Amino acid sequence: MFPTVSIPSSCPDDAEIARQSAEMLLEADAVHFNADAPFKLSSGLPSPTYIDCRKLISYPDIRSRLMDYLAASVLRRTGVDAFDNIAGGETAGIPFAAFVAERLGLPMTYIRKKPKGHGRNARIEGVMEAGDRVLRVEDRTTDGG
């Protein structure tokens, strides 16, 4: 059975996606600057800029366009059969993984940073099989990990 893919039939090129994405981040007031007192990123590194991707879930039009662009970009680079599962990183990657998994018609899981300490002590929630080809979705990467 083939996944149902729900993205627009045409999509801007990478440069236009980047331009429009930056515009949308600014429109959502998700980009913050502070050169005097740099932000501490999750990696521990200081940065004069901070992008709060969590804000994007509150803007349906922006969220939808960005997820269309993400799905289209994944399909352009890999094709529809490249992944078996979409996994979101805890916590901010979870909604974005869910949105793109829906568009690509693929199962979605999420990955905990550490076991929750009760129940099954699972780090992976949802169904992921050994050998699955997984696209991991995060809200950002600051340390290259």
Q: Give 43 or 28, the one with higher predicted confidence.
A: 28
2 pLDDT above the threshold of 80:
no
120 pLDDT above the threshold of 70:
yes
What's the pLDDT tens digit per position in 57-90? 999 999 999 999 999 999 999 987 999 999 999 8
CATH T-level fold of 14-29+58-137: Rossmann fold (3.40.50)
pLDDT at 11: 86
Band of the pLDDT at 143, cuts 50, 70, 90?
Answer: low
Name the nearest CA neighbour of 63 among 106, 33, 103. Answer: 103
What span, in angstroms and rounded, lies between the C-alpha atoms of 36 and 42? Answer: 19
pLDDT at 115: 85
Domain ranges in the chain are 14-29+58-137
